[in-house]
Amino acid sequence: MPAIQTRGLRKVYPASTAKTARAAGPPPPGAPPPGAPPPRGEVIALKALDLDVAEGEFFGLLGPNGAGKTTTIGILTTRVRATAGTAHVGSQDVTGNAVKVRQLIGVVPQRPNPDRSLNVLENLIFHAAYFGIPRSTAHERAMRLLEQVDIADKAHAKVDAMSGGQQQRLMIVRALIHEPRVLFLDEPTVGLDPQARLSLWEILRALHAKGRTIVMTTHYMEEADKLCDRIAIIDRGELLELDTPEALKQRAPGGTLIEITLGGPADSAAGRARLLEGVLRAEAQGPMLRVFSDRGGRVISQLIQAAEEAGANVHNISLTEPSLETLFVARTGRKLD
């Protein structure tokens, strides 16, 4: 049995409770039949997600905002109820046995949400108590973990006196205090400066090296690439790709992605670009001309010429080497962030 398994996982937010808004409306309607268009105002966050995460794996959910990553984590951490499908963590059903699942998991939220009425150590000792851990054990574990993430000197500090990076480390320690089997992290490095991000990566690598199963969502391709054993690329509630970072990169369309923003529609320029030598693929999306080239940036001058011949001014040019990013763009026609 894998550490995590989902089958046909679907989540539809009814119009009356669409995520942040809250209204005491009628009970949410049942799931519409698959394939049926959503009634007005409904949000389909997940369509039918099948995932298997192995014990000890560092698993990444990569996708842009609104892809369904946070909903997936929400369901797996028992905080969101799936509309259809099944999800198991450590062979426990997240719906039928939520209490057992909560014992097996640690959760690091997207934005640090420590208990601001308590200091750092109190946060950890009380959190451990919510998991039935006696004070003396909790104190010893808390100090050891704080030491390991380099914030032991903040043990008696107010949470508000800590930087964003330090608060995020506190969230990791809090998630580990009851020694969970699976650690979930939802966009853990959003809002962190580059240095804080790197040291967080180091902490996650160390945890992974000790065999802990980690599931992390991110919309940073580099983060997924550097940390994860396998990556699921999801967009609009659907799984697009699932493999190791190396295999995914090999699957990326050959060549460099060249994106040229024009002053007007790019369709005619795309037609001309396709005729150029070294252009593997060219497509237009509004004023954006997207070209995959096997000659790197050397086709740029010809592309500019083609655009101008098509009567369009060039406003901006960007180049991206073959990567998870170019794979994502090729699959969805959009960038990750």
Partner 1 sequence: MTTAFPSRVAAAPNDVSVWFVFLALLRRDMHVARKEIVFFLVRTTMQPLLFVIVFGYLLPKMNFVGSGYQTALLPDILAVSLSLSAIQSVALPMVQDFGWTKEIEDRLLAPVPTQLIAAEKIVAGMIQGVIAALFVLPIARLVMGPIPGLTLTHLGEVAAIVLLGSLAFSALGMWLGTAIAPQQIGLMFSVIIAPMLFFGCAYYPWRGLDVVPVMKYLVLVNPMVYVAEGMRGALTPDVPHMSLAVVGVALLVIAGVFWTLGMRSFFKRAIG
Do 331 and 241 contact (CB within 8 A), yes or no?
yes
| Residue 148 in the binding site for partner 1 (CB under 8 A) | yes
309 binds partner 1 (CB under 8 A): no
Q: Which residue lies nearer to partner 1 by CB, 116 or 298?
A: 116
Among 147, 153, 222, 321, contact with partner 1 (rule: CB under 8 A): 147
The answer to whether 146 and 152 have CB atoms below 8 angstroms apart is: yes
Q: Which stretch binds partner 1 (CB under 8 A): 130-138, 282-290, 309-317, 321-329?
A: 130-138
Q: Contacting partner 1 (CB under 8 A), which of 5, 16, 86, 103?
A: 103
Q: Which helix (H) or strand (E) holds 258?
A: strand 256-262
Which of 93, 140, 153, 179: binder of partner 1 (CB under 8 A)? 179
Contact between 150 and partner 1 per CB under 8 A: yes
Candidates 12, 49, 73, 80: give the one binding partner 1 (CB under 8 A): 80
Residue 77 lies near partner 1 (rule: CB under 8 A): yes
DSSP 303: H
- The residue count of the chain comes to 337
Measure CA 33 to chain center.
Answer: 28
Q: Where does this chain touch partner 1 (CB under 8 A) — which range of 146-154, 235-243, 254-262, 312-320?
A: 146-154
Q: What residue type is assigned to position 300 of the chain?
A: I
Q: In the numeric block, which tokens belong to residue 171? A: 């969230």
Stretch that binds partner 1, among 93-101, 219-227, 284-292, 313-321 (CB under 8 A): 93-101
Give the distance, in angstroms, between the CA of residue 180 and the centroid of all CA atoms in the same chain.
21
Contacting partner 1 within 1-40 (CB under 8 A): 13, 17, 19, 22, 24
Q: What is the rounded distance in angstroms from the CA atom of residue 266 to the CA atom of residue 140?
A: 63
DSSP 119: B
CA torsion 307→311→315→316, rounded to 10°? -10
Taking the complex as a whole, the smallest distance from the CB of residue 239 to partner 1 amounts, in Å, to 21
Nearer to partner 1, 83 or 256 (CB): 83
Asked whether the beta carbons of 216 and 188 are under 8 A apart, the reply is: yes
Q: Are strands 43-53 and 4-13 parallel, antiparallel or unpaired?
A: antiparallel
> What are the E-state strand segments in 208-255?
213-218, 230-235, 238-243
Number of shown-chain residues binding partner 1 (CB under 8 A): 57
Binding to partner 1, residues 205-264 (CB under 8 A): 205-207, 209-213
Helix (H, G, I), strand (E, B) or coil at 16: helix
- Which residues would be at the binding site for partner 1 (CB under 8 A)? 13, 17, 19, 22, 24, 74, 77-81, 90, 98-100, 102-105, 107, 109, 111, 113-118, 122-123, 126-127, 129-132, 147-150, 174, 176, 178-181, 199, 202-203, 205-207, 209-213
